[in-house]
């Protein structure tokens, strides 16, 4: 695609990056076929190609974003299916991230929308606040039926529709908190390795059983696990809201504490059980590339970050106890398959450990979770969830496995089939307890 940025504009490293990305796009439109919003809404401006054009216009003309541009960028899930499909290697992720920052900086949203986004950005990354908000949401759940259901994919979903979506996502009960930062779990027998395990923010409130299963499995296989003290939310949630100041501050704080841990006691890897977080931590090196103090340490931390299944694929697990009579529908989280390009490892691990693994039709399409998307765009999100659940039902699973808490909560909201994390199944197969029902129940 031809671009016309001025030399002065190109002096800005972000614009220079955008220019490189835009020039790689040949406007072929292959990406439209796998874009969930284009598949649902059929509007070119809700496709990757349409959004790329809108972003180009906004950046090139250096104009404040219009309501129309904001509408179509807000509808993007950042699922990155378009990046998997694109034959020209267009880095849509870096482009849309930049657009979101520009919108956050230069566009004045209606007051209620600004307030809601501020609350989400403040509450979700703080586990204590998030826990308190979930308790409040449980009190509000009996009144969900009184709130109106939107009839169409509105340009701007209503505040009531968003509140309804939030209440519907709240779990029926909250589990007890998991172990605190600073805890170290010794390897059983001879130590074969030492890893940090990301504690996460929403996940540690909604499903501490996920990291518990990871700790159980890893220590049983000779890996020492540390929950690094003073670690923060990875920044993914605020990054996707365009609040880069917050996201970068969190990235710097995490780089500092993980680097300290690696230098003091050694770390073979920083393991992540929520793939949405893993995708952003692997981006720390890029996000902090212009920061003279943090650029190199951030790149080292990104290189250490691994999805839990990526790490387990490289070690020998204990013989499986499974007999092959449990059918698993494997839901491939977008952040794992498109963001991190991890497609085979989770399924191979499950198959090798005795599960019957079924691919879900249209597995490239997002379930509608996408960070805060299911709250901010509840109508599109629920249509995507219903489509995902209908596809899952065709393989008649005993359980659904996923590697991302956001997807797990989203899918569990529309099915009675138990939704578990891949690591819970692997822990079960190699000596741990059978995973229970989801924490929504």
Positions in the binding site for ligand SF4 (CB under 6 A): 25-31, 35-37, 48-49, 51-52, 76-82, 85-86, 88, 90, 92
Please say which residue, 77 or 202, places its beta carbon nearer to ligand SF4: 77
Please say which residue, 36 or 432, places its beta carbon nearer to ligand SF4: 36
Please say which residue, 91 or 216, places its beta carbon nearer to ligand SF4: 91
Please say which residue, 73 or 214, places its beta carbon nearer to ligand SF4: 73
What 58-63 contacts at long range (C-beta under 8 Å, 24+ apart), as own/partner pairs, is: 58/99, 58/102, 59/5, 59/9, 59/15, 59/18, 59/98, 59/99, 59/102, 60/3, 60/4, 60/5, 60/9, 62/9
397 near 321, Cβ under 8 Å? no
Which whole-number Å values give the CA distances from 339 to 78, 114, 435, in the listed order?
A: 9, 28, 27
Cβ neighbour number for residue 286 with a 10 Å cutoff: 17
- Taking the complex as a whole, how short is the minimal distance between the CB of residue 388 and ligand SF4, in angstroms? 14
Please say which residue, 44 or 268, places its beta carbon nearer to ligand SF4: 44
- Taking the complex as a whole, how short is the minimal distance between the CB of residue 5 and ligand SF4, in angstroms? 18
| CA angle, residues 367, 373, 374, in degrees to nearest 5 | 65
Q: DSSP readout, 277-341?
A: HHHHHTTHHHHTTT-TTTHHHHHHHHHHEEEHHHHHTTSPPPPP---S--EEEE---HIIIIIS-
- Taking the complex as a whole, how short is the minimal distance between the CB of residue 116 and ligand SF4, in angstroms? 21
Please say which residue, 81 or 426, places its beta carbon nearer to ligand SF4: 81
How far is 180 from 417, CA to CA, in rounded Å?
A: 31
- Taking each continuous run of H as one helix and of E as one strand, the counts in the chain are 24, 9
- Taking the complex as a whole, how short is the minimal distance between the CB of residue 112 and ligand SF4, in angstroms? 24
How far is 163 from 376, CA to CA, in rounded Å?
A: 9
Please say which residue, 48 or 200, places its beta carbon nearer to ligand SF4: 48
- Taking the complex as a whole, how short is the minimal distance between the CB of residue 53 and ligand SF4, in angstroms? 9
How far is 395 from 418, CA to CA, in rounded Å?
A: 14
Q: Residue 403, SS3? A: coil
Strand-pair partners of 184: 226
- Taking the complex as a whole, how short is the minimal distance between the CB of residue 77 and ligand SF4, in angstroms? 4
Please say which residue, 86 or 121, places its beta carbon nearer to ligand SF4: 86
Please say which residue, 48 or 65, places its beta carbon nearer to ligand SF4: 48
Please say which residue, 2 or 27, places its beta carbon nearer to ligand SF4: 27
User: DSSP class of residue 197?
Assistant: E
- Taking the complex as a whole, how short is the minimal distance between the CB of residue 366 and ligand SF4, in angstroms? 7
Strand order in the sheet with 305-307: 184-185, 223-226, 193-197, 269-272, 305-307
394 near 317, Cβ under 8 Å? no
- Taking the complex as a whole, how short is the minimal distance between the CB of residue 35 and ligand SF4, in angstroms? 3
- Taking the complex as a whole, how short is the minimal distance between the CB of residue 197 and ligand SF4, in angstroms? 28
- Taking the complex as a whole, how short is the minimal distance between the CB of residue 290 and ligand SF4, in angstroms? 24
Q: In 3D, which of 356, 348, 357 has the Cα closest to residue 323?
A: 356
- Which residue is associated with the tokens 């049983």? 220
Please say which residue, 48 or 178, places its beta carbon nearer to ligand SF4: 48
- Taking the complex as a whole, how short is the minimal distance between the CB of residue 51 and ligand SF4, in angstroms? 5
Strand-pair partners of 356: 327
How far is 150 from 153, CA to CA, in rounded Å?
A: 8
């Amino acid at each position: 695609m031809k671009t016309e940025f001025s030399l002065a504009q190109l002096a800005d490293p972000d614009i220079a990056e955008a220019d490189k990305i835009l020039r790689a796009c040949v406007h072929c439109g292959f990406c439209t076929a796998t874009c969930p919003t284009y598949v649902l809404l059929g509007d070119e401006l809700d496709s990757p190609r349409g959004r790329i054009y809108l972003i180009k216009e906004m950046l090139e003309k250096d104009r404040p974003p219009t309501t129309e541009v904001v509408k179509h960028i807000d509808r993007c899930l950042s699922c990155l299916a378009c990046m998997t499909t694109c034959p020209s290697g267009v880095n849509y992720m870096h482009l849309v991230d930049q657009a979101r920052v520009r919108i956050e900086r230069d566009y004045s949203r209606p007051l209620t929308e600004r307030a809601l986004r501020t609350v989400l950005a403040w509450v979700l990354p703080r586990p204590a606040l998030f826990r308190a908000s979930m308790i409040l949401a449980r009190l509000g759940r009996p009144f969900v039926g009184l709130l109106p259901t939107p009839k169409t994919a509105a340009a701007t979903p209503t505040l009531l529709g968003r509140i309804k979506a939030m209440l519907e996502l709240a779990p029926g009960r909250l589990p007890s908190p998991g172990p605190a930062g600073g805890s170290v779990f010794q390897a059983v027998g001879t130590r074969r390795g030492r890893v940090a395990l990301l504690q996460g923010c929403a996940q540690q409130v909604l499903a501490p059983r996920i990291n518990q299963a990871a700790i159980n499995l890893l220590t049983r296989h000779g890996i020492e696990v540390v929950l690094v003290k003073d670690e923060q939310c990875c920044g993914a949630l605020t990054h996707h809201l365009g609040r880069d100041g917050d996201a970068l501050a969190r990235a710097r704080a995490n780089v500092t504490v993980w680097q300290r841990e690696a230098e003091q006691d050694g770390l073979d890897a920083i393991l992540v059980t929520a793939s949405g977080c893993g995708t952003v931590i692997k981006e720390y090196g890029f996000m902090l590339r212009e920061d003279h103090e943090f650029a190199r340490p951030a790149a080292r931390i990104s290189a250490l970050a691994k999805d839990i299944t990526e790490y387990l694929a490289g070690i020998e697990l204990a013989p499986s106890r499974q007999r092959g009579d449990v059918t698993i529908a494997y839901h491939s989280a977008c952040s794992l398959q498109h963001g991190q390009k991890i497609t085979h490892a989770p399924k191979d691990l499950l198959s090798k450990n005795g599960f019957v693994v079924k691919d879900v039709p249209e597995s490239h399409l997002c379930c509608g979770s996408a960070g805060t998307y299911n709250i901010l765009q509840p109508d599109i999100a629920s249509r995507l969830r219903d489509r995902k659940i209908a596809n899952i039902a065709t393989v008649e699973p005993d359980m659904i496995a996923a590697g991302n808490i956001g997807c797990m909560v989203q899918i569990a909201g529309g099915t009675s089939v138990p939704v578990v994390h891949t690591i819970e199944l692997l822990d079960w197969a190699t000596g741990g307890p059978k995973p229970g029902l989801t924490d929504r129940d």
